[in-house]
Amino acid sequence: DIQMTQSPSSLSASVGDRVTITCRASQGINSFLAWFQQKPGKAPKSLIYEASNLQSGVPSKFSGSGSGTHFTLTISSLQPEDFATYYCQQYNFYPLTFGGGTKVEIK
Partner 1 sequence: EVQLLESGGGLVQPGGSLRLSCAASGFTFSSYVMTWVRQAPGMGLEWVSGISGSDHNTYYSDSVKGRFTISRDNSKNTVYLEMNSLRVEDTAIYYCANEVRLDHWGQGTLVTVSS
* Site for partner 1 contains 8 (CB under 8 A): no
Q: How far is the CB of 100 from partner 1 (least distance, A)?
A: 5
Spatial CB neighbours of 34, under 8 Å, sequence gap ≥ 6: 46, 47, 48, 49, 50, 88, 89, 91
Any contact of residue 83 with partner 1 (CB under 8 A)? no
Identify residues 48-77 at the interface with partner 1 (CB under 8 A): 49-50, 55
Cα separation, 1 vs 15, in Å, equals 37
Q: Which is nearer to partner 1, 36 or 71 (CB)?
A: 36
Which residue in the set 14, 60, 81, 95 belongs to the binding site for partner 1 (CB under 8 A)? 95
Nearest to 75 by CA among 45, 107, 35, 41: 35
3-state secondary structure of 80: helix
Considering the rule CB under 8 A, would residue 105 count as an interface residue with partner 1? no
Question: CB burial class (10 A; 0-12, 13-18, 19+) of residue 94?
Answer: exposed
- 22 makes contact with partner 1 (CB under 8 A): no
Which residues lie near partner 1 (CB under 8 A)?
32, 34, 36, 38, 43-46, 49-50, 55, 87, 89, 91, 94-101
